Amino acid sequence: MIYQHRYLLSDPGKLLQRHATFEGASLAALDSHGSVLIGAWEVWVGKEAGRAVYQLRQFESLASWAEHQDRVRQDSGLMERRRPNLGVVEFSDSAILRQAEGSPSLPEDWLAVEEVRGQPKGFVEQRILLLRPDTSAAHHEFYFEKVAPAYEAMGSKLIALLDTVIGPGTSNAGSHRSIELRWFASMSDWERSREKQENSPEFVELREEWLSKLEQIESALLRPLDYSRIR
């Protein structure tokens, strides 16, 4: 499986309009064209909170992703229905990802959107990790051996670690950009995990060692929208 990771920034005050237009005009049609929107999250805490949305869409392969793009472009009705959002979304960006070796496996089959609506929602903590070129393998070995278990012990459940294969952070030398997704049942659980981390000298030392291996890290706490399957 591969995954399209999208970032959408709405004009100030237009996020709710963007949600309504997408849900009414695009959600079912895009799924019907051969993809599955598994994640749709509004930035709750972090840069551009109240304006930005992240999406994670699943495809069987790069070929199926390309075919999906062709079908969407040829669907004139869908393109017309999506037109109202052209004046709402100020900026968008996307990348193609795959699961890193050692990552927990994401399901291949998902419930229908109608089956997840109204179900309990937690929070997703997303970190965008920029690695130094040619350090991805060494970083991932350290991450899965030491970092991931330490965060789990602090009450932070790893959903997946995904590597960019097309888009920002890629070169002929390979990928040096990863997306880490972690799940919390509630805001209180997220706050308790952060407090435990800060009160553990051993964890703080390990975290500093990990951060020293990164070029840059960008974090955000995300709230699932009602049609998000990862929630």
Percentage of the chain surpassing pLDDT 70? 84
Residue 172: its pLDDT value, please?
Answer: 62
Q: Please, what is the Cα angle at 180 between 45 and 217, to 5 degrees?
A: 65
Whether 21 contacts 84, CB under 8 Å: yes
Helices (H) and strands (E) in the chain, counts: 9, 10
pLDDT beyond 80 at 30: no
Residue 190 to residue 100: CA distance in whole angstroms: 24
Residue 141 to residue 147: CA distance in whole angstroms: 10
Domains for the chain: give ranges and CATH numbers: 2-107 (3.30.70.100), 123-222 (3.30.70.100)
Q: How many other C-beta atoms are found inside a 10 Å radius of the C-beta of residue 200?
A: 15
What band does 138 get if pLDDT is binned at 50, 70 and 90? very high
pLDDT, averaged across the chain: 87
What's the whole-number mean pLDDT along residues 53-72?
A: 85
Residue linked to tokens 């990862």: 230
What's the whole-number mean pLDDT along residues 174-191?
A: 93
Residue 72: its pLDDT value, please?
Answer: 65
What band does 42 get if pLDDT is binned at 50, 70 and 90? very high
Instruction: Spell out the residues 6+ positions from residue 67 whose beta carbon is closer than 8 angstroms to its own.
Output: 34
